[in-house]
Structures are given as structure tokens and as C-alpha cells.
């Protein structure tokens, strides 16, 4: 089974929103495996990635 956890914050007055999505896989033994482990999640990680455009 695969499922997502998608916390987000939305500020309508500013017309912005941010959502961080994590995808998880539960194997046949019940072990939880995070499929998005290698993706940036913190603001610093995302800003560093975007500065290389």
C-alpha cells in the first residue's frame, strides 16, 4: 500500500500556499518506507536547490 501525508499552509490574502508531500510505502511485513527520502524538505534545502537554476 502507498499513501501520502500532505501538510500545507495557505494564506489567501497573500495568494500563496505551500504544501510538503511525503509518500510512504508499507511492505508486506508492515515496514514503513519513505519514498520521498531523497527530496529536499526544509526551506534551506529548497532554496539551495532553486539557486542552481
pTM, full prediction: 0.61
Per-residue pLDDT band at 52 (split at 50, 70, 90) = confident
3-state secondary structure of 48: helix
Interatomic CA distance for residues 11 and 49, integer angstroms: 24
Q: What is the pLDDT of residues 14-44, one digit of tens each?
A: 999 988 889 999 999 999 999 999 998 888 9
Identify the residue whose cell numbers are 532554496: 47
- Tell me how far CA of residue 15 lies from CA of 1, 42, 48, in angstroms: 35, 21, 24
Angle at the Cα of 50 from the Cα atoms of 46 and 53, rounded to 5 degrees: 160
Amino acid at each position: 500500500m502507498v499513501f501520502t501525508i500532505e501538510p500545507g499552509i495557505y494564506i489567501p490574502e497573500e495568494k500563496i500556499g505551500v504544501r510538503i508531500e511525503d509518500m510512504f510505502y508499507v511492505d508486506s511485513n508492515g515496514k514503513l518506507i519513505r519514498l520521498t527520502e531523497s527530496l529536499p524538505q526544509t526551506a534551506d534545502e529548497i532554496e539551495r536547490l532553486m539557486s542552481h537554476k
